[in-house]
């Protein structure tokens, strides 16, 4: 029963956010186009949840998240194109950046889950309980909605604005974040593949600059998207400033840093080198290593 209540609350939050943040934007059949995109994001995850729950499988969980980002972005572009008679440069570039990001991340996560045998330890206990499993899929829908909100609201904006300093500055910030995250993920994958590193923690490359360089890149790139969207935001659409804030809170307070810190202390808590790494390496914002 608790799981059902959580599902209802999470879905209500997503839909309420879509209703208010999308007000003032393009409308379709009397409804905010952004609200309809939020409905689509939640529906996709519900749709894939059904066979996954029957099979008690989490194999396609992360992949579905990436597919949701791409699908909603494409639909938003189609709606904007139909309404305005074409896409402006801001909407086109933002859409391309989101699809490029979810393509890279989706591929990375797909390869990772299959390297782990097609299952993720996070779902070990909950995938056998349909109600609890549905919570995870509903939360993934909310994750897509809030994270990509600035991108989708900008694409679906009723008014357009000239390309200027916000577009250029935001694009530069996005490129920095995207490259930083991609390099960090590649370095970690290479480190894990090296037999000599078995059982060791990673402290090379960008991981010498920050204990979570991939998370820094993720937060940075969504901040860039928000900056690009600023000129077309007005009224309640400013709610989308939650995008990078949500990503920051999610990765540093909920699912990312806390979990990895716990795992790290369990594995290497008695290792003086690991303790030194924790003491001298920033948690998130990069800093050149001292040595």
Ranges of each domain in the chain: 2-280
Please list, in sequence order, all residues whose beta carbon lies within 8 angstroms of the beta carbon of residue 97, skipping any fewer than 6 positions away.
151, 171, 174, 178, 221, 225
Q: Is the dihedral of CA 180, 183, 188, 191 positive or negative?
A: negative
Q: Report the b/e string of 113-126 with b at 16+ CB within 10 A.
A: beeeeebbeebeeb
Angle at 144 between CA 246 and CA 247, to 5 degrees: 20
At residue 58, the pLDDT reads 85
Please say if the pLDDT value at position 106 is more than 80.
Answer: no
pLDDT tens, position by position, 167-180:
999 999 999 999 99
- Choose among 187, 193, 238, 248: nearest CA to 218: 248
Quick check: 237 and 248 in contact, CB under 8 A?
no
Query: Which tops the pLDDT comparison, 259 or 244?
Result: 244
Average pLDDT on 180-184 reads 94
What are the angstrom distances between the C-alpha of 54 and each of 108, 131, 224?
A: 26, 12, 39
At residue 114, the pLDDT reads 65
Report the range of poorest mean pLDDT among 42-46, 52-56, 76-80.
52-56
Average pLDDT on 137-164 reads 96
Quick check: 286 and 181 in contact, CB under 8 A?
no
Report the range of poorest mean pLDDT among 88-97, 98-107, 139-148, 209-218.
98-107
Structure tokens at 120: 């993720």
Please say if the pLDDT value at position 105 is more than 90.
Answer: no
HEC readout, 100-161: HHHHHHHHHHHHHHHHCCCCCHHHCCCCCCHHHHHHHHHHHHHHHHHHCHHHHHHHCCCCCC
Please say if the pLDDT value at position 117 is more than 80.
Answer: no
32: which strand partners? Answer: 27
Please say if the pLDDT value at position 115 is more than 70.
Answer: no
Structure tokens at 57: 């499988």
Please say if the pLDDT value at position 236 is more than 70.
Answer: yes
Report the range of poorest mean pLDDT among 115-119, 193-197, 249-253.
115-119
What CA–CA distance (Å, rounded) separates 62 from 84?
33
């Amino acid at each position: 029963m608790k799981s059902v209540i959580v599902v209802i609350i999470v879905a209500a939050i997503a839909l309420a956010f879509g209703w208010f943040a999308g007000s003032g934007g393009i409308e379709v059949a009397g409804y905010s186009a952004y609200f309809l995109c939020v409905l689509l994001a939640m529906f996709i995850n519900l749709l894939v949840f059904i066979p996954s729950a029957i099979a008690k499988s989490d194999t396609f969980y992360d992949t579905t998240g990436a597919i949701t980002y791409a699908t909603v972005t494409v639909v938003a572009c189609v709606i904007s194109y139909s309404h305005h008679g074409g896409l402006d440069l801001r909407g086109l570039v933002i859409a391309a950046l989101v699809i490029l990001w979810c393509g890279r991340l989706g591929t990375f996560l797909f390869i990772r889950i299959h390297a782990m045998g097609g299952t993720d330890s996070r779902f070990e206990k909950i995938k056998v309980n349909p109600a609890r499993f549905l919570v995870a899929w509903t939360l993934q829908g909310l994750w897509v909605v809030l994270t990509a909100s600035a991108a989708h609201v900008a694409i679906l904006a009723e008014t357009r604005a000239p390309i200027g300093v916000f577009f250029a500055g935001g694009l530069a910030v996005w490129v920095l974040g995207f490259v930083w995250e991609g390099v960090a993920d590649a370095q970690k994958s290479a480190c894990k593949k090296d037999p000599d590193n078995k059982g060791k923690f990673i402290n090379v490359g960008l991981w010498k600059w920050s204990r979570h360089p991939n998370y820094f890149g993720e937060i940075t790139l969504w901040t860039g998207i928000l900056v690009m969207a600023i000129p077309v935001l007005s009224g309640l659409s400013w709610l989308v400033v939650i995008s990078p804030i949500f990503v920051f809170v999610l990765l540093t307070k909920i699912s990312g840093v806390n979990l990895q810190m716990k795992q790290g202390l369990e594995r290497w808590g008695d290792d003086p080198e690991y303790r030194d790494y924790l003491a001298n390496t920033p948690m998130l914002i990069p800093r050149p290593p001292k040595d």
